[in-house]
Chains A and B, each alone.
Chain A
Amino acid sequence: MTVIYNREDKIFRGVVTGGALTSLLVLGLIGLFLFMRGAQIFSDKGIQFITGTNWTAGSGDGVIPDDFSIGAMLVGTVVVSLIALVIAVPLAIGGALYLEFYAPRRIRGALATLLDLAASIPSLIFGLWGIQVFTSFGERWAILINNWLGWIPIFSVEFENFGRSPFIAGCVLGSLIVPITTSVAREVYSRTPRDLVDTCYALGGSKWGAIRSVVIPYGKSGVIGGAMLGLGRALGETVAVYLLLNLVFSYNFRILESEGGNVASLIATKFGEATEYELKALVAAGFVLFLLTLVVNMTATTIVQKSTPRA
């Protein structure tokens, strides 16, 4: 049925559509703009931009050429985020299960509020806490890991300076993303059909039996979605990493070694004194980061939406 709108309504619809269109343009243009601004870098360096590890500003007179590539920073981004994920996911699952199945009813509400509050703590404060409070603990653990497991390459170090390593940054980022992953996990676990859980008990199972047989399989995709949301957050994290890691331009897989960096902190560090060309490189880096987080977040949202059917 086609609806004919009178003049008043047409104005209304026009205004509303205009507003939506503006949002669309503002947000949609960002990607386009970044790409265009950084396009020169992509055409100059091609795939090397992503694989190379140098970041040298040229001397301007052609003697030393500009050479910008984000390979090291991309690796750093991924390494730190993966560490964060490895730490956060088990804690999030445990926290969600505890909250949903083990917490005494009286403190459940308080813990849920605490969880939501934690999700709203700005990452800057995580960084501050990371440097001032956590590093001493993290260093101790890093030394222990290096002592006992140092024969595994990723746990070996060249210099015994553990304070500003991807490991510590990963731990802090991990606690940053635990709240969101725990919330999503808890949401999914609470939707487990009561029937199935009751059946486990009716068959003589224990609480852990019910959790293992029914709750965890049911919540699997939801938890994966939540983990990916956390991953997306970690990939784009700037300030905490900036404060905790030294920017070192080489591929570093030794997570206890004090070098690393990620793309976001690269941008934050270098933009101030960047030359025109270097700025373009930073924009190109930002575009790559933007694409990366976009893909991760979209996958995450699809997974989470699939696992939480709307009633």
Chain B
Amino acid sequence: MTSTTNSPGATAVVEPSAFAGLETRGAHAWFGKHHALRDISLTFPARTVTGIIGPSGCGKSTFIRLLNRMHEFIPGAAMAGSVLLHGKDIYEPTVDAAEVRLKVGMVFQKPNPFPAMTIRENVLSGIKLAHLKRSNHDDIVEQCLTRAGLWKEVKDRLTASGGSLSGGQQQRLCIARSLAVEPEVLLMDEPCSALDPGSTLRIEETIKELAEKITVIIVTHNMQQASRVSDYCAFFLTDGGPGYLVEADSTRKIFTNPADSRTADYVQGKFG
């Protein structure tokens, strides 16, 4: 990750980093006439955890929805710029959006396992929905639940309803569900904000383990969480208009010696 600043007049010193699986260049987002995101250019190196931080309302959730083509489901949505996965723009007309979503998975803020399905069916639901041909369902269930840190707790009750778990367990089930379709990138939209501190810590451990194989991008309100969990951080801000990127760098740098004074103020809790 290269460091960037968006202060007026500055020119960037740019060096392409190591292999970056996901990258945005000049991404904008609109809802109808409302300009929500302005000119976001970020690089997400493979197998790292990047935290997207910033006060509420600056477009963080909108941004990650650009990354898996979920933004377009909102009526009146529009965008500009490019989002590159392995160097190819996912918004090109020839690209199948559903394929993109298989490679870029998402875990939502409120745990939402499918209520009408068992735990096992929940984990396999992505495979069924995407019509993927897999013959080793049992292995997949075990692997994904293990990676999500849930296997030991539910292995004897895979046929219980998805809704019978606690909040933290439900969220880990949702993580397992996303993992089943073998994504390369996992987007997480404030995944712990509805959970208790104990569950939060467990999920943070899970995130760090997941990053050994895939790239994780996590939107979070909680700065301590960002500092615990992420390798890189991107700080978003808004002045009442569209959200924009202030600074993006390694977590250590953002939290100890950020380049922009606004970043320093934010991480010290002076606002937001």
Please, which residues of chain A bring their CB within 8 A of the CB of B68? 202
Smallest distance from the beta carbon of B137 to chain A beta carbons, Å?
A: 16
Query: Does A203 lie at the interface of the complex (its beta carbon under 8 Å from any beta carbon of B)?
Result: yes
Residue in B99, B108, B128, B130 whose beta carbon sits within 8 Å of that of A199 in the complex? B108
* A204 and B102 form a contact (CB under 8 A): yes
* A203 and B105 form a contact (CB under 8 A): yes
Residue in B75, B110, B115, B126 whose beta carbon sits within 8 Å of that of A204 in the complex? B126
Query: Does B13 lie at the interface of the complex (its beta carbon under 8 Å from any beta carbon of A)?
Result: no
* A202 and B116 form a contact (CB under 8 A): no
With both beta carbons as reference points, the residue of chain B lying nearest to A196 in the complex is identified as: B112
Please, which residues of chain B bring their CB within 8 A of the CB of A195? 108, 110, 112
* A202 and B98 form a contact (CB under 8 A): no
Segment 84-120 of B: residues with Cβ below 8 Å from A = 98-99, 101-102, 105-106, 108, 110, 112, 114-116
What does the 1/0 interface line of A61-90 toward B look like (CB < 8 Å)? 000000000000000000000000000000
* A203 and B101 form a contact (CB under 8 A): yes
Q: A105-B75, A209-B129, A213-B129 are in contact. Are A202 and B70 (CB under 8 A)?
A: yes
Smallest distance from the beta carbon of B61 to chain A beta carbons, Å?
A: 12
Query: Does B60 lie at the interface of the complex (its beta carbon under 8 Å from any beta carbon of A)?
Result: no
* B129 and A203 form a contact (CB under 8 A): yes
Residue in A201, A205, A213 whose beta carbon sits within 8 Å of that of B73 in the complex? A201
Smallest distance from the beta carbon of A309 to chain B beta carbons, Å?
A: 14
* B130 and A205 form a contact (CB under 8 A): yes
Segment 194-215 of A: residues with Cβ below 8 Å from B = 195-196, 198-206, 209-210, 213-214
Please, which residues of chain A bring their CB within 8 A of the CB of B110? 195
A201 CA to B110 CA in the complex, in Å? 16
Q: A203-B178, A204-B129 are in contact. Are A198 and B116 (CB under 8 A)?
A: no
A213 CA to B126 CA in the complex, in Å? 10
Please, which residues of chain B bring their CB within 8 A of the CB of A18? none
Query: Does B181 lie at the interface of the complex (its beta carbon under 8 Å from any beta carbon of A)?
Result: yes
Please, which residues of chain B bring their CB within 8 A of the CB of A202? 68, 70, 101, 105-106, 108, 178
* A203 and B130 form a contact (CB under 8 A): yes
With both beta carbons as reference points, the residue of chain A lying nearest to B187 in the complex is identified as: A202
Q: A105-B75, A198-B70 are in contact. Are A203 and B112 (CB under 8 A)?
A: no
Please, which residues of chain A bring their CB within 8 A of the CB of B251? none
Query: Does B125 lie at the interface of the complex (its beta carbon under 8 Å from any beta carbon of A)?
Result: yes
Query: Does A141 lie at the interface of the complex (its beta carbon under 8 Å from any beta carbon of B)?
Result: no
Chain A, interface residues (CB within 8 Å), range: 10 to 19
Query: Does A109 lie at the interface of the complex (its beta carbon under 8 Å from any beta carbon of B)?
Result: no
Please, which residues of chain B bring their CB within 8 A of the CB of A196? 112, 114-115
A217 CA to B75 CA in the complex, in Å? 25
* A205 and B98 form a contact (CB under 8 A): yes
Query: Does B28 lie at the interface of the complex (its beta carbon under 8 Å from any beta carbon of A)?
Result: no
* B99 and A203 form a contact (CB under 8 A): no
Residue in B75, B102, B108, B130 whose beta carbon sits within 8 Å of that of A198 in the complex? B108
What does the 1/0 interface line of B114-146 toward A look like (CB < 8 Å)? 111000000001101110000000000000000
A119 CA to B269 CA in the complex, in Å? 59
Query: Does A193 lie at the interface of the complex (its beta carbon under 8 Å from any beta carbon of B)?
Result: yes
| Most chain B CB within a 10 A radius of its CB, from A193, A210, A214 | A214
What does the 1/0 interface line of A97-127 toward B look like (CB < 8 Å)? 0000000010000000000000000000000
Query: Does A218 lie at the interface of the complex (its beta carbon under 8 Å from any beta carbon of B)?
Result: yes
Query: Does B177 lie at the interface of the complex (its beta carbon under 8 Å from any beta carbon of A)?
Result: yes
* B116 and A205 form a contact (CB under 8 A): no
Q: A105-B75, A206-B98, A213-B129 are in contact. Are A201 and B70 (CB under 8 A)?
A: yes
* B177 and A203 form a contact (CB under 8 A): yes
A245 CA to B181 CA in the complex, in Å? 57
A106 CA to B141 CA in the complex, in Å? 43
* A213 and B130 form a contact (CB under 8 A): no
* A217 and B101 form a contact (CB under 8 A): no
Smallest distance from the beta carbon of A23 to chain B beta carbons, Å?
A: 40
Smallest distance from the beta carbon of B257 to chain A beta carbons, Å?
A: 37
A66 CA to B143 CA in the complex, in Å? 77
23 A-B residue pairings within 8 Å (CB atoms): A195-B108, A195-B112, A196-B114, A196-B115, A198-B73, A198-B108, A199-B106, A199-B112, A199-B174, A202-B68, A202-B101, A202-B105, A202-B178, A203-B177, A203-B178, A203-B181, A204-B99, A204-B126, A205-B129, A205-B130, A206-B129, A214-B116, A217-B116
Which residues of A are at the interface with B, using a C-beta cutoff of 8 A? 105, 193, 195-196, 198-206, 209-210, 213-214, 217-218
Closest 6 CB pairs of A and B: A205-B129, A203-B126, A204-B130, A217-B116, A204-B102, A202-B106
Q: Given A196-B115, A202-B70, A202-B106, 18 other A-B contacts at CB below 8 A?
A: A196-B112, A199-B106, A200-B129, A202-B105, A203-B101, A203-B177, A203-B181, A204-B98, A204-B101, A204-B102, A204-B181, A205-B98, A206-B98, A209-B130, A213-B128, A214-B116, A218-B115, A218-B116
